[in-house]
Chains A and B, each alone.
Chain A
Amino acid sequence: DIQMTQSPSSLSASVGDRVTITCRASQSITNYLHWFHQRPGNAPKLLISAVSTLHSGVPSRFSGSGSGTDFTLTISSLQPDDLGTYYCQQTYGSWTFGQGTKLEIK
């Protein structure tokens, strides 16, 4: 199975900060990489598909980049509603997810 490694596992940032989360695949997954946001008690919601395509209704402060094995999710100006856990996922065959990055607002 393809292993997905996210970093950091947790972070605390202030409203307005620029936040970056990274995800590394154990082998090349081209652009078969997606990002999800999960609030406590809720199901994950799709943020970005295929590395950089914003899902419908997702604010433009979210962006994604990368290719091959290394990927990045960026929040350009953190908002209170962004708290929760972020997961990367690969769909290059059997699905696997990163372990998650828990984002707290200072």
Chain B
Amino acid sequence: QVPLVQSGAELKKPGSSVKVSCKASGDTFSNYAISWVRQAPGQGLEWLGRIIPASGITNYPQKFKDRVIITADKSTSTIKMTLRSLNYDDTAVYYCTRGPEAMYTNNAPDFWGQGTLVTVSS
């Protein structure tokens, strides 16, 4: 089983919201934290926040705390990331990745979903 499988590409207008899904399999939902990381075209990696699905605890960096909401649905083992007030700069590939539950840790995120392209265009 692939630990994380993401939803398909999205095309959105500026000012709207997008919701990207990440389905966890095996023990991933119960034993890990799930983070979201994005990569704009030709650019580096940027962390958007995370959730511990077993408890619902979330953490967001200051830059995204007012625009990103991450939720987890135990009934479907699915984690969802909603990004609001989209602008052109939000065009990127969005990845979910599983990692350790602790925030301060020398354990690394060891698996990444396949990525979801979100395009913001009028």
- Physical interaction between A and B: yes
CA distance A98 to B62 in the complex (A): 19
Q: Say whether B45 faces chain A, with CB atoms less than 8 Å apart.
A: yes
> Which residue of the partner chain A has the closest CB to B105?
A91
> Which residue of the partner chain A has the closest CB to B4?
A43
Q: Say whether A44 faces chain B, with CB atoms less than 8 Å apart.
A: yes
Q: Say whether B29 faces chain A, with CB atoms less than 8 Å apart.
A: no
**Known pairs A32-B104, A91-B105; A98 contacts B44 (CB<8 A):** yes
In the complex, chain B residues whose CB is within 8 Å of the CB of A91:
99-100, 103-109
Closest chain B CB from A58 CB (angstroms): 11
CB–CB B108/A34 < 8 A: yes
Surface stretch bound by A, among B10-18, B74-82, B110-118: B110-118
Closest chain A CB from B24 CB (angstroms): 15
Given contact pairs A49-B107, A97-B46, a sample of 9 additional A-B residue pairs in the complex whose CB atoms are under 8 Å apart: A30-B106, A32-B105, A43-B114, A49-B106, A89-B108, A91-B100, A91-B105, A91-B107, A97-B47
